[in-house]
A and B are shown apart, each in its own frame.
Chain A
Amino acid sequence: MTDLIWIVPLLPFIGFLINGIGRNILGKPLIGIIGSGVVFVSFLLSCCLFSHVYDARQAGGDGAFTVPIFEWISAGKLSVGLSFMLDPLSSIMLLIVTGIGFLIHVYSIGYMSHDPGFGKFFSYLNLFIFFMLLLVLGSNYIVMFIGWEGVGLCSYLLIGFWYKNEAYAGAAKKAFVMNRIGDLGFLIAVFLIFTTFGSFEFSSIFPQAAGRVSGDGTLLLITLLLFVAATGKSAQIPLFTWLPDAMAGPTPVSALIHAATMVTAGIYMIARSNILFTLAPVTLQIVAGIGIATALLAAAIALTQNDIKKVLAYSTVSQLGYMFLGLGVGAFTGAFFHVLTHAFFKALLFLGAGSVIHAMSDEQDMRSMGGLKKKLPITYITMLIGTIAISGIPPLSGFFSKDEILAHAFVQNKVLWVLGFIGALFTAFYMFRMLFLTFFGEFRGSKEQAHHLHESPGSMTFPLIVLAILAAFGGLLNIPAALGGGEWLAHYLEPVFAASTAKTGEFHLEHGTEYALMAASGIAAIIMAIWAYGTYVSKKTVPVADGAERSLLSRLSYHKFYIDEIYDALIVRPLNKLSVFLYKVIDRAGIDGLVNGLGRTAEESGKGIRLLQSGNVGFYIFMMVVGVIALLVYGLIKI
């Protein structure tokens, strides 16, 4: 069974090739069927693989299988193989990537149906799934890195999908550059790992690392570099500003890449390397700190955004922050659980937003929406479920995963819990604000938009319904013991985090305290929802126009704390100045001058030497004789 694992990533790759080559020849229905079909078959295979791992876990094994495909590079001590690792962690990621990937492919058939780049879109999407599967399945850091780079490339291509719009192309470039900064960290970390452990394979590195003492200097450096990589890919402070801009891409892309899968790669990578991080407590503290800071900052920005996709984008950044908080406080299962539930409800919310945008003829500003719930009932109901889930209102999925992270934070550091709690309040408020502004009240758009309003086609509502069911019931996967649950996910993932658990000891929290924490966050979220209802439905408040006067806090939030401007002033502009200087002085005058000078010298001497070739045989023979005499003289001296 596991021997066939290579088919899972291969299928989307074949889809990429077919759709890429045939993008102008094949018809749209065929492209859609191929694009979705290959991912669906991958999904079915992933289900088989999952059940295989599941059976192994039930039987008491650790459920980990390494499947070498071929030896790729072999030079001296260096050996890199293309090999895959199937274990509880990657088996669930497989399901997320192919399952949600399939739904979003189906959704795209409807959403992109009028786009001339239909074939190109599906080929990129298939390519993305291929690279994401490489990232998830790689049994060593090199294969993971290839996937890591590949998804970055696809993200770039898809953000800039409508590249004729200069702002969109700029957003793509920004995402790429920011990701490259992180990738550099990854690359150096991989070099360091190789020099330290002499291998790239997880199965060789982690046991060696487990033998080291906590606080080891090399591990600290490696984990810090890996975390730098994670901040790039998963949009954390200081590299998070690309993600909101990435909303320039088509909405299915935002749902798939910039919400459900790619941006969680950083969390996946750290969860995968958990033992390294557990032995570097300083890094873990930094991870937790950056995570909670990002969660709060992004949530604060989301409070005042008016673009429906921007709200969701900042919400994604914020939720990713929670996941890092979870990793930082050692709640590896909790963080991964949140990856899972977030994939459900955030993909749902983005697709729902896409459905709204589709109905509104590409309008994204919520100030022009309102009262859509009658016209788009399915979209409304599913988005309502998504909103309740993300806000952490029981019993929907987000409540359980967020609660697990916050419970761990509570045990580790009360301050982190308080901050996380405040972030959760923000979340509930801005999500309900978005929901109410969009679906309640009077319609505020133009006449043509009103006339054009319609529920989306079945290919778009079907994924919404499936995801809504998942978002509603996903929490059942890991119901805490306090609520009489079996903590199925935690048990399933146990072997992955076993080494770390052995170092840190079992997590323990009084059931009474846990009830109190749950009640507090649940009730608080409901209160925030009611507050939002009061403001945006009862009082019918509509966010003010762009140029209007704002209070200081509102202004800071609305202008995203001026972070883009600060980066521009501190980094971009000085760099530009430096590069202009290097270009004009060092490159043009110095290097070019030198190279051109050498070239000109060679060419001039060529013109000179060419004259030797006079065409006169007498002269040729004369020159030869000179050569002969020189040789003979040499012989005379040498003998």
Chain B
Amino acid sequence: MSAIITLSLLAVLLLYLGLFKAKKALLPVSLLGLLAAIVLYSIQWDTDAEPLYSGMVLFDHFAVAFSILSLFITGLVFLLSRDYFDSISEHVAEYYALIIFSLTGALLVVSFHNLAMLFIGIEIMSVALYILVGIRKRDFSSNEAALKYFLMGAFSTGFLLFGITLIYGATGSFDLTEIKNYLIANPHSISPLFYSGILLLIIGLSFKVGAAPFHFWTPDVYEGAPILITTFMSTVVKTAAFAGFLRLFLTCFVPLQDFWAPVLLVITVLTLFIGNISALAQQSFKRMLAYSSISHAGYMLFGILSIGAASAGAIFVYSAAYSIASVVAFAVLILVKRSRGSEHFEAFNGLAAKNPYLAFTLSVAMLSLAGIPLTAGFVGKFMMFSGVLANYHIVLLLLAVLNAAMGIYYYFRVIVAMYFRPADREEVTVNANYKAVLFIGALLTIAIGIFPSLLAGWL
């Protein structure tokens, strides 16, 4: 809990720094704050976790692992922010503060033990994002994205809240333990309110993770938002949303698996196909990444679909692999866009000849996203697929493999463009922060791919 408080204070401090025009201090202070939070979480690792504050939050291994992952990825995003925020807005301090606020919400989402906290966490996370997406005030597409995101977000929040209400109506409590006990106590006389509540929660959470048919906001918002905000959304926010989703279902709804699993199955298959097939036809690298993030949501839903002891570990490794690779991909996109002014695949033509380092790290990220062995993405996919196989969803697995094959096609397009398409271009200048992030990203991707136990042992 001290970490969450630290972060909230940090955000306020950042706003003051902005007020006193100490722009240079923003990045170091933010990074230090994140580091402090990571340390505070790490200290908690070995203590026996009990629900705190009348059962509002629970910092068990699950919560701590996902929190550290979120903090780490946010740190990478911050490293990329040097020169970036200055170029698109004069209110730099607000950027940092809002991201930290959103992160605080995410940390609540991964550690909630009470439906009220889930709701508050999601809202803290989302409200900050609505502003961040539209922070380029004079940019039409940014405004449009923010408005769309807000409208649809508000719409889906309604479902989420309604679902929570119905669950409360059936059980008389927001507490996860109470809800679980209700199911155990009444195995045969569960109120219809409860069932409806689960369905509405699925709708609300599917929206947050960007699963079909509630995914429509994703491509438009990802495209309109500043690239770095897109990075944050598609990594930290998505990871946190999945962790919350899984935490809720893993703690409470396992006994009713027969009821909700078919719904989730349909959502998963739809998500996979819509994400992958749409990604095939994209000409813009950024939009392709948006659709690929939809398809990755599909793979991560496997973890919830085949819910069990291994689910948490699988989603953790998968989201870590996916987030790291995404950060690398977006980082290279920022650099390429800065030098070429375009987000299309053609903008990457011939990159390998002038910037072999960029091309190599991006290739590693793409291989990881495609799930090629010896990268972290493979380990993640392997854990997901083996979970599905253990539950005998053979047909689902076949569909997943088919989709993975489609993924290879569009991920490799950029590799082909970088290495095999000649183009006259200038060398892209890369500052030290970017170099560091790309190095860390590629190194971790390969390290986890070779030694999966680095991560898989956490949960």
Whether B278 contacts A620 by the Cβ 8 Å rule is no
Whether B216 contacts A606 by the Cβ 8 Å rule is no
Whether B277 contacts A609 by the Cβ 8 Å rule is yes
Partner of A626 from B147, B213, B279, B281 at Cβ < 8 Å: B213
Whether B217 contacts A634 by the Cβ 8 Å rule is no
With contacts A606-B281, A623-B213, A628-B159 taken as known, whether A613 is within 8 angstroms of B409 at the C-beta atoms is no
Whether B274 contacts A624 by the Cβ 8 Å rule is no
Residues of B within 8 A of A610 (CB): 278, 281-282
Whether B220 contacts A615 by the Cβ 8 Å rule is yes
Partner of B409 from A599, A607, A623, A639 at Cβ < 8 Å: A599
Which residues 305-325 in A have Cβ within 8 Å of B in the complex? Answer: none
Proximity string of chain B (224-256) to chain A, C-beta cutoff 8 Å, 1 when within and 0 when not:
000000000000000000000000000000000
Proximity string of chain B (243-284) to chain A, C-beta cutoff 8 Å, 1 when within and 0 when not:
000000000000000010011000000000010011111100
Q: Is residue A482 contacting chain B, with contact meaning CB distance below 8 A?
A: no
Interface of B is mostly: helix
Partner of B155 from A599, A612, A615, A624 at Cβ < 8 Å: A624
Whether B199 contacts A607 by the Cβ 8 Å rule is no
- The size of the chain A interface, using a CB distance under 8 A, is 25
Whether A617 contacts B152 by the Cβ 8 Å rule is yes
Q: Is residue A605 contacting chain B, with contact meaning CB distance below 8 A?
A: yes
Q: Is residue A592 contacting chain B, with contact meaning CB distance below 8 A?
A: no
With contacts A613-B220, A635-B195 taken as known, whether A627 is within 8 angstroms of B277 at the C-beta atoms is no
With contacts A603-B281, A617-B151 taken as known, whether A635 is within 8 angstroms of B214 at the C-beta atoms is no
Q: Is residue B192 contacting chain A, with contact meaning CB distance below 8 A?
A: yes
Q: Is residue A585 contacting chain B, with contact meaning CB distance below 8 A?
A: no
Closest to B155 in A: A621
Q: Which of A599, A612, A620 has the most CB of B within 10 A?
A: A620
Whether B199 contacts A613 by the Cβ 8 Å rule is no
Q: Is residue B202 contacting chain A, with contact meaning CB distance below 8 A?
A: yes
Whether B281 contacts A631 by the Cβ 8 Å rule is no
CA distance A627 to B156 in the complex (A): 12
Residues of B within 8 A of A609 (CB): 274, 277-278, 281
Closest to A623 in B: B213
CA distance A634 to B258 in the complex (A): 13
Whether A638 contacts B203 by the Cβ 8 Å rule is no
CA distance A606 to B216 in the complex (A): 15
CA distance A632 to B259 in the complex (A): 12
Residues of B within 8 A of A634 (CB): 199, 262-263
Interface of A is mostly: helix
Q: Is residue B148 contacting chain A, with contact meaning CB distance below 8 A?
A: yes
Residues of B within 8 A of A602 (CB): 277, 280, 406
Whether A617 contacts B213 by the Cβ 8 Å rule is no
Partner of B216 from A599, A605, A613, A628 at Cβ < 8 Å: A613
Number of A-B contacts (CB under 8 A): 68
With contacts A613-B220, A620-B217, A639-B192 taken as known, whether A606 is within 8 angstroms of B277 at the C-beta atoms is yes
Distance (whole angstroms) from the CB of A619 to the closest CB of chain B: 8
Partner of B199 from A617, A623, A624, A632 at Cβ < 8 Å: A632
Residues of A within 8 A of B281 (CB): 603, 606-607, 609-610
CA distance A631 to B220 in the complex (A): 25
CA distance A620 to B156 in the complex (A): 12
Which residues 323-345 in A have Cβ within 8 Å of B in the complex? Answer: none
Closest to B219 in A: A613
Residues of A within 8 A of B278 (CB): 606, 609-610, 613
Whether A627 contacts B199 by the Cβ 8 Å rule is no
Residues of A within 8 A of B219 (CB): 613
CA distance A393 to B321 in the complex (A): 72
CA distance A546 to B262 in the complex (A): 81
Residues of B within 8 A of A638 (CB): 195, 259
Residues of B within 8 A of A632 (CB): 196, 199
Whether A627 contacts B280 by the Cβ 8 Å rule is no
Residues of A within 8 A of B155 (CB): 621, 624
Distance (whole angstroms) from the CB of A463 to the closest CB of chain B: 44
CA distance A118 to B207 in the complex (A): 65
Q: Which of A615, A632, A635 has the most CB of B within 10 A?
A: A635
Which residues 121-180 in B have Cβ within 8 Å of A in the complex? Answer: 147-148, 151-152, 155-156, 159
Partner of B196 from A607, A617, A620, A635 at Cβ < 8 Å: A635
Residues of B within 8 A of A624 (CB): 152, 155-156, 207, 213-214, 216
Closest to A613 in B: B219
With contacts A613-B216, A627-B213 taken as known, whether A620 is within 8 angstroms of B192 at the C-beta atoms is no
Closest to A625 in B: B155
Which residues 371-418 in B have Cβ within 8 Å of A in the complex? Answer: 406, 409
CA distance A638 to B147 in the complex (A): 37
Whether A620 contacts B280 by the Cβ 8 Å rule is no
Residues of A within 8 A of B152 (CB): 617, 620-621, 624
Distance (whole angstroms) from the CB of A620 to the closest CB of chain B: 4
Which residues 79-125 in B have Cβ within 8 Å of A in the complex? Answer: none
Residues of A within 8 A of B196 (CB): 632, 635
CA distance A615 to B220 in the complex (A): 7
Distance (whole angstroms) from the CB of B214 to the closest CB of chain A: 5
Distance (whole angstroms) from the CB of A68 to the closest CB of chain B: 23
Whether B203 contacts A635 by the Cβ 8 Å rule is no
Closest to B194 in A: A639
Distance (whole angstroms) from the CB of A612 to the closest CB of chain B: 8
Closest to A620 in B: B216
CA distance A627 to B204 in the complex (A): 12
CA distance A55 to B147 in the complex (A): 87
Closest to A605 in B: B277
Whether B195 contacts A606 by the Cβ 8 Å rule is no
Residues of A within 8 A of B147 (CB): 617
Residues of A within 8 A of B280 (CB): 602-603, 606
Closest to B258 in A: A638
Which residues 10-34 in B have Cβ within 8 Å of A in the complex? Answer: none
CA distance A605 to B278 in the complex (A): 8
Residues of A within 8 A of B259 (CB): 638
Q: Which of B207, B277, B279 has the most CB of A within 10 A?
A: B277
Q: Which of A599, A602, A603 has the most CB of B within 10 A?
A: A602
Whether A627 contacts B148 by the Cβ 8 Å rule is no
CA distance A613 to B216 in the complex (A): 7
Residues of A within 8 A of B156 (CB): 624
Residues of A within 8 A of B282 (CB): 610
Distance (whole angstroms) from the CB of A290 to the closest CB of chain B: 42
Closest to B406 in A: A602
Residues of B within 8 A of A617 (CB): 147-148, 151-152
CA distance A274 to B20 in the complex (A): 86
Proximity string of chain B (185-211) to chain A, C-beta cutoff 8 Å, 1 when within and 0 when not:
000000010011001001100010000
With contacts A603-B281, A634-B263 taken as known, whether A627 is within 8 angstroms of B203 at the C-beta atoms is yes
CA distance A617 to B150 in the complex (A): 11
CA distance A612 to B277 in the complex (A): 12
Closest to A621 in B: B155
Distance (whole angstroms) from the CB of A618 to the closest CB of chain B: 10
Closest to B403 in A: A602
Residues of B within 8 A of A627 (CB): 203, 213-214
Residues of B within 8 A of A605 (CB): 277
Distance (whole angstroms) from the CB of A354 to the closest CB of chain B: 42
Residues of B within 8 A of A606 (CB): 277-281
Closest to B290 in A: A613
Residues of A within 8 A of B262 (CB): 634
Q: A606-B277, A607-B281, A609-B277 are in contact. List 12 more A-B contacts (CB 8 A).
A: A605-B277, A609-B281, A610-B281, A617-B148, A617-B152, A621-B151, A621-B152, A623-B216, A628-B159, A631-B202, A631-B203, A634-B263
Interface residues of A (CB under 8 A from B): 599, 602-603, 605-607, 609-610, 612-613, 615, 617, 620-621, 623-624, 626-628, 631-632, 634-635, 638-639
* Cross-chain pairs A/B with CB under 8 angstroms, 22 sampled: A602-B277, A602-B406, A606-B277, A610-B281, A613-B216, A613-B220, A613-B278, A617-B148, A620-B148, A621-B152, A624-B156, A624-B213, A624-B216, A626-B213, A628-B159, A628-B203, A632-B196, A632-B199, A634-B262, A634-B263, A635-B195, A639-B195
5 smallest CB-CB distances across A and B, nearest first, come from: A606-B281, A620-B216, A627-B213, A606-B280, A606-B277
